[in-house]
Amino acid sequence: MSEELLRLSKRMSELGLCSRREADEWIAKGWVRVDGKVVSELGTKVTPSQKVTVERQAAAEQARRVTILINKPVGYVSGQAEDGYQPAVVLIKPENRWEEDRSPERFDRNHLRSLVPAGRLDIDSVGLLVLTQDGRVAKQLIGENTNVDKEYLVRVEYTKPGRLPDSELQKLNHGLWMDGKPLLPAKVRWQNDDQLSFTLREGKKRQIRRMCEMVGLRVVGLKRVRIGRVKLGNLPEGQWRYLSPDERF
């Protein structure tokens, strides 16, 4: 039985070498070898058993790519500007860098090139937003098979008499459907009388707000405080810092 043929860029992504977009860039530059031979034609297909390697230039370029953490305020969108609202990337300038940032990285205007959000945060939500030039980070956080969880603190009001029944809290943990599909199990618990902690491994559009509506809760405030092992910590709202070399999601 013959082996399945895969696009080289897809295979490189599967191997964790880079993102598909980066793979296409490296292939075009002649930085990719298959079984020792340079391949520079986009769309080339390979089998899983073939050996894929990249030149040193690719690794060096990748090492220069940065990942930035920002405490996004209300009123900014995660990605491209829309409906008159500015993207969070406009806040990334020297005067907004957190003075306690312990990364040795020096700010460079080139760090703003190809900087994309690895996951979204709604315009009316605040907290930890990751912007990265590194396709490996983007794939880890928002790829199809991501297993990185994200934690949110959510202030809520119950729109019915009394207090949210325990049975409805259990539904938030597991049992709700959205867009015709069951949601993955979540961890939802009370932090205090009006604040819930949500830990999710998926991120459908406005998911937490929609989940809350299903059980009679109205979201008053939503803040993302952790992505994987990286915490928002004391990073002030509207300020940013670099992901340190020793930090991993």
Active site residues: 122
Query: Which candidate, 248, 245, 238, places its Cα nearest to that of 128?
Result: 238
Q: What is the dihedral of CA 85, 88, 93, 95, to 10 degrees?
A: 90
Q: Which residue has the tokens 């190809």?
A: 114
DSSP assignments along 110-147, one per residue: GGGTT-EESS---TT-EEEEEEES-HHHHHHHHSTT--
Residue 24 DSSP SS3: helix
| Cα 201 to Cα 228: distance, rounded to the nearest angstrom | 10
Number of helices (H), then strands (E), belonging to the chain: the values are 6, 16
| Cα 224 to Cα 234: distance, rounded to the nearest angstrom | 13
